[in-house]
Amino acid sequence: MTLIASPPAATTRSTTNADPTLAATLAQLSSSHFRALLGTYGLTNLENVARLALPLLLGRAVDGLLRGSRWPLIGYVVAHAAYAALGVARRRWDTRAFTHIYAEEAAAVVARLHRAGADGSRVAARAAMTREFVDFFERDVPALLFAGYAMIGAAIALFGLCPAAAAGCLLMLPPAVGLNRWYAARCARVNRTLNSALEREVAVVTAGRPKAVAAQFGRVRRQKVRLSDLEAINFGLTDVMILVLMAGSMLAHAWSATPTAGELVAVSRYVVLFMCGLDSAPMLVQQLTRLQDVHRRLYASPSR
């Protein structure tokens, strides 16, 4: 069962009114491949839960060794081995599940566009764009789950270990949201231009006119450079916030009630985990804006 290639049942309305929303398309794709996605996301959730336990167990292992006990270290090693095993199992499952999903969906897109009378260049370009949907489920949903677990789980753990550090994490959220809204708006414009250029690429290359080919690859290069520049700006500003958070959290915990070495280790690791979740937001924003534009093109009239 496929969904990317399957238009809505109502065909008497205009294309704009009949086209499904991106959310509806993603929901239908989830339903079509429910078993495969359930397996991979079940393993992803278990992997994230195990990751959240590791900083606390590491801190206890450090304190245990300072007291002369090795049992907390053994517990940490067992937990880390379980986390690694879950990671291996998820990666093996992912490859099998998502290569199958892509093969099924891309073939269906090609069949639908040929029936609709699309020219060869648009069929090739839009079939390749189908990969964006599979990438969303294979790469972006797990990244979103990681960000959620990392930020929420780390904040909860920090409230128990060092409330000042947890408060600092929460104070970082409003500027991070504002930065990513700015980033999303600019990425959306660049992605529209880039995808339009990519749709024309097969036709331009097939025609083989040197000047047109050079101009085509120049357009693609410029848009990719613009995306890279936006990402670099966002990365730099996010890292400044991360640096402030890390330094402030460590100082706050050190100035509080006398911390153990293990508590300092745990606090630092949870702050890093929170920052990793925060740092993944810019890439997720870019991928979602790109997916929105790809979705529009896949359901557009073949002549557009």
Position 288, amino acid: L
- Distance between CA atoms of residues 272 and 52, nearest Å: 12
pLDDT tens-digit profile, the chain (304 residues): 455 544 444 333 344 445 678 788 788 888 888 988 999 999 999 999 999 999 999 999 999 999 999 999 999 999 999 999 999 999 999 988 998 888 888 888 788 777 877 767 667 766 777 777 888 888 888 988 998 999 999 999 988 888 888 888 888 888 877 887 788 788 778 877 887 777 777 677 777 788 888 887 888 888 888 888 888 888 788 778 878 877 777 777 777 667 788 888 888 889 888 888 877 776 777 677 777 777 777 666 555 5
Helix extents (H) in the chain:
15-18, 22-32, 34-67, 71-115, 120-135, 141-148, 154-161, 163-171, 173-207, 210-255, 261-279, 281-298
- Distance between CA atoms of residues 185 and 181, nearest Å: 6
- For residue range 23-41, list pLDDT tens digits in order: 887 888 888 889 889 999 9
Nearest residue to 4 via CA among 109, 158, 82: 109
CA diameter of the chain: 77
- Distance between CA atoms of residues 99 and 131, nearest Å: 10
User: Domains of the chain, with CATH numbers?
Assistant: 15-298 (1.20.1560.10)
pLDDT at 76: 95
pLDDT at 59: 93
pLDDT at 257: 64
pLDDT at 150: 92
- Distance between CA atoms of residues 233 and 223, nearest Å: 15
Q: Dihedral, CA atoms, 231, 237, 242, 245, nearest 10 degrees?
A: -160
